[in-house]
Structure 1
Amino acid sequence: MARTRPATQRGAADEALIRTLYEQHGGALLAYAIRLTGDRAAAEDAVQETLIRAWRNPEALTEARGSVRSWLLTVERNLITDRFRAKAARPAEVAEVSEQSATVPVQRDHAEGVVEALVMTEALEQLSPEHRDVLRSIYFQQLSVAEAAEQLGVPAGTVKSRAHYALRALKRSYAGKAGTLKEVAV
């Protein structure tokens, strides 16, 4: 029957093993982990986990099985690789909602705006080229009536008149199509 050592002797031997490993290889393990992770805190965690693995597998720490440092560095590299893979496989973390961010209004769905823009574009295409040019000059290019008149080569009164009739036609065309779209949506 094999005798086991008392727990106090085993604990002291385990502590001595880890201390010795850390004294001999801790600096190299930390430097290697920092190089792989770029983060000192993550590197320290990797060194700690590597030493725990060494403590759990003392049979691997004999020179007869190969270099102890090589085994430790390989274990550390595998741990870091596993952490990167696990992190990459998980969805991105979402921050908790704070009271301040809870008061920020949620943006509405932009689909309705897209439909309105399409309807407006189609309505603009129904206008005569003269009316469409006046609206583009005044509303899209934000020119004054005088600037639009100069650009289009017509009197300012003509720009005002065309804008009035163009808006009236656009309003009729747009209202009819928007009403139809809302009926379809319901």
Structure 2
Amino acid sequence: MAASGPDELLGALYREHGDALLRYVRHLTRDAGHVEDVVQEAMVRAWQRPTVLVREPDAARAWLFTVARNLVVDDARSARNRREHHTDQSVDRIEADRTDAVLDRIVVADALASLSSEHRRVVVDAYWLGHTVPEIARRHDIPEGTVKSRLHYGLRALRLALQERGVTR
């Protein structure tokens, strides 16, 4: 390993010990994706400390294998490794977070509950069930003008109830 600079030293080091280091790390981790990361990190650390390897060329292999083993052990002990589980299966589908929609429904349901039953009935019939004013009037056996009036005052009360719950425009 008679090389002049750190880059040449790293190239010579990899040519001399790279294959054996890959096999060693593969044996330790049994995770093909992680093997190359560990070997690369060991080589980066060797590149950062070329004086250690130049002073003791015979110890370079032992140093690389020790660094690789320590990297594997550190990763195994890490919090990431305890919480994450690798799988070869792809995710079937990704669903959007529905938390905001659920919270909105809870707030609206609570605000609707604060309305009088007459106002709540016409608001739900019109805006959630999609019925027209004449349909609502027939369903509840009330005049169309009363439906319009209850819709107007029901929506006004609903707007106030939502504002009291922190919903703003």
For the aligned pair, the TM-score class normalised by the smaller chain equals: 0.3 to 0.5
TM-score using structure 1 length: 0.42
TM-score using structure 2 length: 0.45
Which structure has the higher relative contact order (CA within 8 Å, separation 6+)?
Answer: 2
Larger Rg: 1
